[in-house]
Amino acid sequence: MHLPCNPLLLAIAAPLAVALAIALGLPKRWSVRLAYAGFAAPLLLALDVWWHFNAAPKADGYAYLARYSTGLDGLGIGLVLGVNGIALPLFVLAGIVGFAAGLYALQSAAERLKLYLMLLLVMQAGLMGIFASVDVFFLYFFHELALIPTFIMVGIWGGRDRNYAAMTMTIYLTVGAMLSLLGLIALYVKSGAHSFDLIALRSTLAAQPLGAVAQKHLFGLLLFGFGILVSLWPLHSWAPLGYGAAPSSAAMLHAGVLKKFGLYALIQVALPLLPAGAAPWGHALAVLAGFGNVLIIGLITIAQRDLKQMVGYSSVMHMGYAFLGLACGSALGVGGVVLLMVGHGLSVSLLFLLATSVHQRTRTFAMDEMGGLGRPAPVLAAFFVAATFASIGLPGFANFWGELTIFIALWSFSPWFTVLAVSGVVISAVYGLRAAARVFFGPPSEAFVLVTAQHPPADLSWGERAPALVLLAALLFIGLWPRSIARPLDGALPTSAAVAAAAPAADAAVRL
Amino acid sequence: MAPSHLAFLVLAVPAASAGFIALFLRRRGGPASALSVLAAVAVAAGAGWLALHGPRFEASREWLRLAGLTVSFGFNFDDLAALMLAIVGLVGLCVHVFSLGYMRDDEARARYFGGLSIFMFSMIGVVLADNLFMMFIFWELVGFSSWLLINHWYERPAAAEAAKKAFIVNRVGDFGFLLGIILCYHLRGTVNLSDLAAQASSGTAPYSTAIPLLLFCGAIGKSAQLPLQVWLPDAMEGPSPVSALIHAATMVAAGIYMLCRIEVLMVNPALTVIMWVGTATALYAALCAIGQRDIKKVLAYSTLSQLGYMVAAFGMGTYFQPQADGSYHTASGVSAAMFHLTTHACFKALLFLGAGSVIYGCHHEQDIFRMGGLAGRMKLTFATFTIGVAAIIGFPFLAGFFSKDAILALAFASNRAVFAVLALTAILTAFYMVRLWKIVFFGATRSEAAARAHEGGGVLTGPLVVLAALSLVAGWRRLYPAAFAGILANVPEAEGRAHGIVLGVSLAVLLIGAGASWAFYAASGTDELERRAPGLFRGLAALQQCFDRFYAWYVAKVQQRAAMALNFLDVIGLSGLVVRGTAGLAGLAGLGLRALHVGRINAYVYWFLAGVAVLWLFAAGIL
């Protein structure tokens, strides 16, 4: 496909343009029609970029590199777009999840649908922008562009406790964003590159690396700033709360894609620019992620009675694997994190979508008041079971590869943490299967019998099936053919991240 | 067609069948079952050709490569894999055909047959895998298909509970299995089975004992050995053909197969542990089987016991028997285990399908004390079931006789204590199997359902006849084609005086167990043991339940309470104090955050936009 302009720019501009058109007062019928195009364009462009990526000409590892002046050149800020092997899987993820969330929103009967669609489209543009930006300023800018609509959507369309949830979410995420912004500005100042361009920053810092102490402190600032955004324990409480209250499409986009911004920025910005800064934090990070996210949050997830909270907590738990992958500091660990981000993004957004569909049929998120939903809604049950098994790392789905590579990489870092992380495999089976059983199997609860009498539940409609199918197909495709994202990724891993590829070696392995 | 392509087809056909059923035949049970059975026929044909006529080969392709790690998708088709593939293909076909009749009236037939196809796909993947990563992948998928099929009647709480339990308990085993694979990868530098075999034996290397023991954890889960055996009896909530295929003949045997695949990694201390775990399981499960009332539970405990036999046989390792002419005969635990696995697959699938036929005939009655007198009403089922019982208790010249003797001979040569326990287990096996047989088929009919019992037609009895014929001949190793010589040539055989002792013992245990049972039990509606020795009966029941009680206690009192406590702390401590505290601070500090505190989210937007505007103006030199 030959496009008149850069596909990355188009992927950002298309949803923005549609949002603008809706804002300018397009009638509702046309707004809906145009919104389909607005959600589909980024996906098609992302798939096109993916398809051509291996053959595309690259500069510094980036394909489709383009620079646009913004009038801020004095500050070293320019809109620099491009995707490398790390950005590509996430760019595609953003396209897929954005499309699915858009489709789901379009079939929902949300009040003030035009505003809802508009905000989602802005969010979608921001998400595409994050993973297409090579400029740190715009990386951050696009994150904020996607984040603000999230707050608004929680505040307007949220479920119960929406004000408290929105407040919590806003405080946490603002603090996280401020900390990381502080870190990024400090990095910009300290580097002396007078540029936010990652490529320039990289070459400057490769020639004149910062001192070890400065690297350590800067990395710490970025780690905890971004860590809050990714719900690093104990700074995670915004996540289950916020997702519990958020409208489904917003939860899908935030948990599925936007949350990955923190990890992505750590991998694309912090690790390559501060190669000596990560190692001192490795152990502390592993302790927080291993004991906090995986073990403690895993157990907390078992205790959940609310379906949406359960999905929210499980997502926090899986982020623990991602942090563990970062903690080991090897290229394999980082690669595993990217694989896991893609798998988790797809599965968690599918779970949020299905949780909402369950809610529409049971009129509640309380799992005690469900049961036996599999009989009236077998297709919904099948999707939910597939999504659950995907999220607990069943092979054949994308998540498995991320978990496996992280576990393998983790052994070189510390066998004990590997044991801890692998124990999560059992924990997640417990809460995942328990939830599926409580919602869909066994006899219906008394409460659900009453609901059924008034509102006989129907199976998944085609409007709900279409976005679910998109997500499930992506999960299976990557699960069965991981090379499709691992090949571009393999070429882009930050080997400079100190530790060599975790090639097996008899001597290095055992530090029990 | 290259053999590797045919092997790929054998793997892919059931996967395609499952996918097609899921997508297009969800509501059409007839076409779905036809497609699934056709796939099973194709698999059996392909597997048969590969096993008997195909060359042995290895083929491998890269699946994932990332930062030095390579996971490959490959086949390692040796005699061991050929034998296992033949078993899976053959038993799989019988069970598919039987299911046509057994599940005829089930409204979710399509899902059932789709599940069978997924199972065939996963199991064949385990059999063919040339490396541990790939084996683990299909191993997990086997667990998933087991979950799916146990959960088939998901509206029954017991079925949903049993499916969940099976998957979770298996994952506990897989926890060790995965760690073992990762340890193996890091220590030995490869997880490819042939590469591991080609490496020099590393009995002295660090952690050489840890690797096989961790990998064995996987087998403990999948083959339901102590202490993870609890899921298998519960798994009987699934349809009977599923019990025959998955929870008797193939999937639960995958643990033993996996051990045989990684035999090169074994070291003596690990083998000793494995031997004792298997021996203990054999005895424990046999004791549990005695007090069961449910026909399928008796068979389930008997499966556990026989799996214990196989694990014990594997654990006894290779032994060189001196011959009269000064040469040595290699008696290998692998061969003994695989031989027993083969015969067991035939007669246990037969027994489960026979039980299915009885249950079908008695309108889903499973309590043996509410059956009785079926010998006259279900003649073919009775005849084939009798062959199955005779085979499992080691009646001379039937399948179980030879394979059990091989294990006893190996035990006699290598460890007399194990020999004694296994012989005792054999007595118990004969005891509870004859009990089952007598109570089900003899005496007066004890329920209306049993009085109306009838045969279920050709699709039900046909597979029974095939499996009965196999149970008659599967013990004769001379009848096996040369294709499996790599495994079956090394089956242990007692020589000389030992031969006489082993043979004598095995005949004696058969006579004692079967005779005592026949004399003790009356074909009536009450359990003689419960009536005459209530203390012993309660003791056996307590023994059977002790593991489940302990796990239930752990889940309810430890795990759940810890989870609730942590949840409480999380909600109160972190969310409450920290968030409200931060909000309070922000309120004190005033400024923009106060707007958030009172809940006006949109203020954040304005503040942000204002900030951007100021920055922009500043950068552009206007300010």
CA distance B41 to B48: 10
Average pLDDT, chain A: 86
Q: Are residues A296 and A221 in the same domain?
A: no
Specify whether A273 is located in the same domain as A309.
Answer: no
Determine the pLDDT at residue A501. Answer: 36
**Residue entry with tokens 């085979």:** B391
Distance (Å) from the C-alpha of residue B558 to the closest C-alpha of chain A? 11
Give whichever of A2-16, A472-486, B587-601 has the largest mean pLDDT.
A472-486
- The H or E element spanning position B538 is helix B534-553
CA–CA separation, A32 and B31 (whole Å):
40
Nearest to B602 among A72, A152, A419 (CB): A152
- For residues A233 and A319, give the distance between their C-alpha atoms in angstroms, rounded to a whole number: 9
Is the pLDDT reported for residue A497 higher than 80?
Answer: no
Instruction: Compute the average pLDDT of residues A199-228.
Output: 85
Give the confidence band of B574 by pLDDT, cuts at 50, 70, 90. Answer: low
pLDDT at B599 over 50: no
CA distances from B215 to A343, B132, B178, B210, B225 (A): 27, 10, 7, 8, 13
Smallest Cβ–Cβ distance between B168 and the set A430, A440, A443 belongs to A430
- Structural contact between residues B426 and B404, judged by C-beta atoms closer than 8 angstroms: yes
Of chain B, the end-to-end C-alpha distance in Å amounts to 77
| Residue B298 clears pLDDT 60, i.e. is over it | yes
CA-closest candidate to residue B431, choices B506, B509, B514: B514
What span, in angstroms and rounded, lies between the C-alpha atoms of A85 and A338?
10
A400–B579 C-beta distance less than 8 A:
no
d(CA B280, CA B93): 33
Q: Which residues from A are below 8 Å from B596, CB to CB?
A: 167, 170-171, 174
Q: Does B52 touch chain A (CB under 8 A)?
A: no
Cα–Cα dist A449/A370, whole Å: 9
Phi/psi of residue A68, nearest 5 degrees:
-125, 135
**Domain match, A4 and A94 both:** yes
Cβ-based contacts of A509 with chain B (< 8 Å): 183, 186-187
A204-218 confidence digits (pLDDT tens) = 888 888 888 888 888
Regarding whether A128 and A84 lie in a shared domain, the answer is: yes
A170 touching B (Cβ < 8 Å): yes
Please, are residues B78 and B443 in contact by the beta-carbon 8 Å criterion? no
Confidence check: pLDDT of B390 > 90? yes
| For residue A376, cis peptide bond before it (omega within 30 degrees of 0) | no
Q: Percent of chain B having pLDDT more than 90?
A: 45
Tokens, residue A357: 């569909």
Region A350-359 average pLDDT = 92
Q: Once rounded to an integer, what is the mean pLDDT over residues B518-545?
A: 85
DSSP string, B583-621: HHHHHHH-TTHHHHHTT-THHHHHHHHHHHHHHHHHHTT
Select, from the ranges A85-89, A283-287, A505-509, the one with the highest average predicted confidence (pLDDT). A85-89
Residue B250, burial from CB neighbour count under 10 angstroms (0-12, 13-18, 19+): buried
What residues 9-68 of chain A have any CB closer than 8 A to a CB of chain B?
A: none
Q: A74: which chain B residues are within 8 Å (Cβ-Cβ)?
A: 619-621
DSSP state of B246: I
- How many whole angstroms separate alpha carbon B7 and alpha carbon B5? 5
- Domain assignment present for residue A262? The answer is no
The C-alpha angle with vertex A175 and arms to A173 and A180, in degrees rounded to 5, equals 95
Tokens 């552009």 belong to B620
Give yes or no for B144 touching A (CB within 8 A). Answer: yes
Residue B597 has pLDDT above 50, yes or no: no
Per DSSP, the residues of A104-126 read: HHHHS--TTHHHHHHHHHHHHHH
- Tens-place pLDDT, residues A123-145: 999 999 999 999 888 889 899 88
In the structure, what pLDDT confidence band is assigned to residue B591 with cuts at 50, 70 and 90? very low
Does B185 contact A at CB distance below 8 Å?
yes
Segment B549-565 mean pLDDT? 85
Say if residue B453's pLDDT is above 90: no
pLDDT at B618: 59
Q: Examine residue A255 and state whether it is found in any structural domain, yes or no.
A: no
Residue A42's domain comprises 1-250+268-277
Q: Does B189 touch chain A (CB under 8 A)?
A: yes
End-to-end CA distance of chain A: 53
**Type of residue found at A457:** P
Of residues A75, A375, A407, nearest to B178 (C-beta)? A407
Q: Which residue has the tokens 């958020």?
A: A246
Q: Do both A28 and A101 map to the same domain?
A: yes
Mutate to test the interface with A, among B28, B62, B66 (most CBs of A within 10 A): B66
Which residue out of B65, B69, B146, B181 would a mutagenesis test of the A interface target, given it has the greatest number of A Cβ atoms within 10 Å? B69
pLDDT bin (cut points 50, 70, 90) of residue B595 is very low
| Rounded distance between C-alpha atoms, residue A111 and residue A98, angstroms | 20
Contacts of A151 in chain B (CB under 8 A): 601, 604-605
| Res B612: pLDDT | 58
Please state, in angstroms and rounded to a whole number, the distance separating the CA atoms of residues B487 and A167.
68
Contact A163 B182 (CB under 8 A): no
How many Cα atoms occupy the beta-carbon half-sphere of A398 within 13 Å? 28
Flag whether pLDDT at B610 surpasses 70: no
pLDDT of residue A250: 87
Q: Are both A328 and A419 inside the same structural domain?
A: yes
- Is some CB atom of chain B closer than 8 A to the CB atom of A376? no
Q: Select the more confidently predicted residue: A129 or B604.
A: A129
Give residues with Cβ within 8 angstroms of B218, minimum separation 6. B136, B139, B173, B174, B176, B177, B180, B255, B258
The verdict on residue A44 lying in a domain is yes
- Return the higher-pLDDT residue of A161 and A288: A288
A451 near A363, Cβ under 8 Å?
A: yes
Looking at the predicted structure, is the pLDDT value of residue B601 above 60? no
Of A302, A411, A489, the CB nearest to B563: A302
Q: Is A480 on the interface with B (CB under 8 A)?
A: no
Contact A104, A469 (CB under 8 A): no
Q: In angstroms, what separates the C-alpha of A63 from chain B's closest C-alpha?
A: 20
Rounded to whole angstroms, how far apart are CA atoms A183 and B17? 54
- Amino acid A48 reads D
Helix residue ranges, H only, A328-445:
331-362, 378-391, 398-413, 415-440
Write the ipTM.
Answer: 0.91
Beginning with the edge strand found earlier in the chain, give each strand of the sheet holding A79-83 in spatial order. Answer: A58-59, A62-68, A79-83
Q: What is the reported pLDDT for A502?
A: 37
Report yes or no on A263 lying in a domain.
Answer: no
**Residue A206 CB coordination number (10 Å):** 12
Q: What is the mean pLDDT of residues B507-529?
A: 86
**Same domain, yes or no: A241 and A288:** no
Mean pLDDT score across all residues of chain B: 86
pTM of the model: 0.90
Take residue A301 and report the two structure tokens written for it.
């997830």
Number of domains in chain A: 2
Are A157 and A293 within one domain? Answer: no
Asked if residue A73 belongs to a domain, the reply is yes
Q: What is the dihedral of CA A31, A32, A33, A38, to 10 degrees?
A: 80
Q: Any chain B CB within 8 A of the CB of A195?
A: no
Nearest-Cα residue of chain A relative to residue B152: A441
A486: closest CA of chain B, how far (Å): 6
pLDDT for position B596:
45
Query: Residues B60-81, buried b or exposed e (16+ Cβ, 10 A)?
Result: beebbbbbbbebbbbbbbbbbb
Confidence of residue B578 (pLDDT cuts 50, 70, 90): low
Q: What is the pLDDT of residue A510?
A: 37
CB within 8 Å of chain B, chain A residues 422-451 = 422-423, 425-426, 429-430, 433-434, 437, 440-443
Structure tokens at B340: 């027993």
If asked whether residues A242 and A287 sit together in one domain, one would say no
Q: Model confidence over B141-190: pLDDT tens digits?
A: 999 999 999 999 998 999 999 999 999 999 999 999 999 999 999 888 88
Interface of B with A in 579-608 (CB under 8 A): 579, 582-583, 586, 593, 596-597, 599, 601-602, 604-605, 608
Last residue of a domain, one of A277, A294, A327: A277
Q: How many CB atoms lie within 10 A of CB B197?
A: 14
SS3 A467: helix
* Close Cβ partners of A359 (under 8 Å, ≥ 6 residues apart): A307, A308, A365
Please indicate whether, in this complex, the C-beta atoms of B186 and A504 are within 8 angstroms of each other.
yes
Considering only CA atoms, which of B370, B355, B501, B517 is closest in space to residue B429?
B517
pLDDT surpasses 80 at B615:
no
Q: Are residues A309 and A289 in the same domain?
A: yes
Q: Does B45 reach chain A within 8 Å, measured CB to CB?
A: no
All residues at 6 or more sequence positions from A74 whose CB lies less than 8 Å from its CB, including other chains: B619, B620, B621
Q: Is residue A72 part of a domain?
A: yes
Least confident of A73-82, A138-147, B356-365, B390-399: A73-82
Residue A194 shares a structural domain with residue A288: no
| Residues A190 and A338 occupy one common structural domain | no
> In this complex, which of A405, A425, A426 lies closest to B66 when CB atoms are compared?
A405
Q: How many CB pairs under 8 A join A and B?
A: 220
The predicted structure's pLDDT at residue A111: 78
For residues A282-297, give the mean pLDDT: 89
pLDDT of residue B17: 94
| pLDDT, tens only, B87-128 | 999 999 999 999 998 888 888 899 999 999 999 999 999 999
For residue A171, give the nearest of B69, B582, B605 by CB distance.
Answer: B582
Find all residues with CB under 8 Å of A374, minimum gap 6, and list them.
Answer: A381, A440, A441, B154, B155
Which of B167, B206, B567 is facing A510, going by the closest CB pair? B206
Instruction: Return phi, psi of residue B320, to 5°.
Output: -100, 115
pLDDT of residue B419: 92
pLDDT-based confidence at A494, cuts 50/70/90?
low
Q: Considering the domain boundaries, does residue A389 fall inside one?
A: yes
A119, A122, A138, A237, best to mutate vs chain B, most B CBs in 10 Å? A237
Look at residue A256 and tell me if it is in a domain: no
DSSP assignments along A1-29, one per residue: ---SS-HHHHHHHHHHHHHHHHHTT--HH
**What's the pLDDT at B566?**
84
SS3 B56: coil
pLDDT value at residue A4 = 65
CA dist list (Å): A301 to A308, B551, B563: 11, 20, 8
Interface of A with B in 78-97 (CB under 8 A): none
Residue B107: per-residue pLDDT: 86
User: Predicted confidence band at A509 (pLDDT cuts at 50, 70, 90)?
Assistant: very low
Give residues with Cβ within 8 angstroms of A104, minimum separation 6. Answer: A248, A249, A252, A353, A356, A463, A464, A467
Out of A302, A303, A426, the one facing B175 most closely (by C-beta) is: A426
Which string of b and e fits A314-338 if b means at least 16 CB within 10 Å?
bbbbbbbbbbbbbbbbbbbbbbbbb
**Range with the poorest average pLDDT among A263-277, B377-391, B416-430, B574-588:** B574-588
* A510 against A463, higher pLDDT: A463
Predicted local confidence at residue B621, as pLDDT: 54
